[in-house]
């Protein structure tokens, strides 16, 4: 199962994380009053409860399986249309699983309580960005939301999306989801392509008048696309303009260029969140 295999997946995180029991449930969505329907949920949405008590992961099966429109898929070239349709649902399921279970479900907050006690070793714990002990942490009464304010949701969604991307390039994780050999490589490719395309679609949710993003997931995906474009080496490119605009992803460079770029990006986000 995904949960059993999760404990066998080795993640090169920022600091050693505590093991704790996790639960994954698959349910169907019967209705949603809001601006969008989620494909998965990690609850409760409180970092202190997740960290100290535990959490539950819910995958909305009928949302994951919802078919794409039969029309031409925007922002994709001719060569990607067929493969995208063929494994899009499986790639999205893979991303949601990693995003919820090991994305939102990981990442310790370094805290000081009201008695001056710390939940981490201040001398032995090292900040991987500086090589020195952490110089900041959450003071008594502070929470992730109170520190990061409006950008908090987008930063957290970006962190979880990065985890999903990295896991999708792991052959052990692909095997857990039932994908091996050539099919596994196709699912991984389409998952990364999904994210690149989502970064373009995300621009619909940016308000130039207010100079702000209207949706946290979309700001996160745009940030990931920007990171992959900056990685260079021909990994991702935007081609055409207007109605012919499309994103091209070199599948041969996902592990050699894309994975290191996203790993470094995720490391920085995790350090910022933890400290």
Annotated catalytic residues are 100
Residue listed under structure tokens 């605009």: 245
Interhelix angle 181-201/152-168, rounded to 10 degrees, is 160
How crowded is residue 39: how many other Cβ atoms within 10 Å of its Cβ? 21
User: CA-to-CA distance for 137 and 148, rounded, in angstroms?
Assistant: 13
In this structure, the dihedral spanned by the alpha carbons of residues 135, 140, 142 and 147, taken in order and rounded to 10 degrees, is -20
Tokens of 256: 């050699």
Does residue 185 contact residue 87 with C-beta atoms inside 8 Å? no
Does residue 249 contact residue 193 with C-beta atoms inside 8 Å? yes
Interhelix angle 181-201/216-231, rounded to 10 degrees, is 110
Does residue 55 contact residue 100 with C-beta atoms inside 8 Å? no
User: CA-to-CA distance for 178 and 89, rounded, in angstroms?
Assistant: 13
Complete DSSP assignment for 125-151:
--BTTTTB--S--BPTT--HHHHHGGG
Does residue 191 contact residue 168 with C-beta atoms inside 8 Å? yes
40-43 vs 56-60, strand pairing mode: antiparallel
């Amino acid at each position: 199962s995904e949960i059993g295999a999760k404990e066998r997946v080795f993640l090169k995180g920022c600091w050693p994380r505590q093991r704790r029991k996790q639960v994954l449930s698959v349910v169907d969505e019967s209705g949603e009053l809001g601006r969008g329907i989620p494909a998965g949920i990690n609850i409760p949405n409180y970092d202190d409860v997740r960290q100290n008590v535990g959490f539950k992961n819910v995958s909305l099966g009928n949302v994951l399986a919802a078919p794409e429109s039969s029309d031409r898929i925007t922002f994709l070239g001719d060569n990607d249309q067929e493969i995208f349709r063929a494994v899009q649902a499986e790639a999205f399921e893979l991303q949601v699983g990693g995003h919820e279970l090991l994305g939102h479900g990981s990442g310790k907050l370094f805290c000081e309580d009201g008695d001056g006690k710390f939940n981490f070793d201040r001398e032995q714990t090292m900040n991987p960005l500086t090589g020195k002990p952490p110089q900041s942490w959450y003071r008594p009464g502070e929470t992730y939301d109170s520190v990061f304010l409006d950008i908090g949701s987008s930063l957290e969604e970006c962190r979880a999306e990065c985890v999903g991307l990295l896991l999708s390039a792991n052959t052990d994780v692909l095997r857990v989801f039932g994908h091996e050999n050539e099919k596994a490589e196709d699912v991984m490719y389409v998952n990364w392509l999904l994210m690149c395309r989502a970064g373009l679609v995300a621009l619909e949710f940016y308000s130039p008048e207010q100079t702000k993003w209207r949706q946290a997931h979309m700001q996160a995906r745009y940030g990931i696309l920007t990171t992959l474009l900056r990685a260079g080496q021909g990994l991702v490119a935007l081609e055409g303009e207007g109605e012919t605009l499309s994103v091209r992803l070199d599948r041969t460079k996902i592990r050699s260029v894309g994975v290191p770029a996203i790993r470094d990006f995720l490391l920085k986000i995790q350090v910022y969140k933890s400290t």
